[in-house]
Amino acid sequence: MRPSVLVVGAGPAGLSAAEVLSQAGWSVTVVDALGSAARKFLRAGVGGLNLTHSQPLEAFLETYGPHRPRLEPYLGRFGPAELQAWAGGLGVSVFTGTSGKVFPQGMGAAPLLEAWLARLSRQGVIFRTGARWMGWSSQRDWEFEDSGGAFRLEADAGVLALGGPTWPNLGTGGSWVSLLEAKGVTLAPWRPANVGFTVDWSPVFREKFAFQPLKETVLTFRSVEGTPWRRKGELMVTPWGLEGGLMYAAGARLRNGIEAEGRMAVALDLAPGRDLNRVEADLSRPRQGRSLSTHLQKTLGLAGVKAGLLREVLKPGSPDDPSRVAQLLKALPLTLTGTRPLAEAISAAGGVRWDELTPELELRRLPGVWCAGEMIDWEAPTGGYLLTACFSLGRAAGEAIINSRIGQET
Task: Name the residues that contact ligand FAD, by CB under 6 A.
Answer: 8-14, 31-34, 39-41, 43-44, 49-50, 132-133, 161-163, 166-167, 171-172, 176, 346-347, 373-374, 382, 384, 386-387, 390
Q: Are 375 and 163 in contact (CB under 8 A)?
A: yes
- Residues, the chain: 410
According to DSSP, the β-strands at 369-371 and 157-160 are: parallel
Q: Which of 104/308 has CB closer to ligand FAD? A: 104
Q: Are 251 and 383 in contact (CB under 8 A)?
A: no
Q: Which of 139/169 has CB closer to ligand FAD? A: 169
Q: Are 166 and 176 in contact (CB under 8 A)?
A: no
Q: Which of 194/257 has CB closer to ligand FAD? A: 194
Where are the strands (E) in 155-200, listed by range? 157-160, 187-193, 197-198
Query: Shortest Cβ distance from residue 13 to ligand FAD (Å)?
Result: 3
Q: Which of 37/328 has CB closer to ligand FAD? A: 37
Query: Shortest Cβ distance from residue 99 to ligand FAD (Å)?
Result: 12
Q: Which of 244/384 has CB closer to ligand FAD? A: 384
Where are the strands (E) in 194-257, listed by range? 197-198, 213-222, 228-238, 241-243
Query: Shortest Cβ distance from residue 19 to ligand FAD (Å)?
Result: 12
Query: Shortest Cβ distance from residue 367 to ligand FAD (Å)?
Result: 21
Q: Which of 240/385 has CB closer to ligand FAD? A: 385
Integer angstrom CA distances of residue 206 from 202, 209, 270, 318, 336: 6, 6, 18, 21, 15
H-state helical runs in 32-109: 39-44, 57-62, 68-77, 80-89
**DSSP designation for 343:** G
Query: Shortest Cβ distance from residue 72 to ligand FAD (Å)?
Result: 17
Query: Shortest Cβ distance from residue 164 to ligand FAD (Å)?
Result: 6
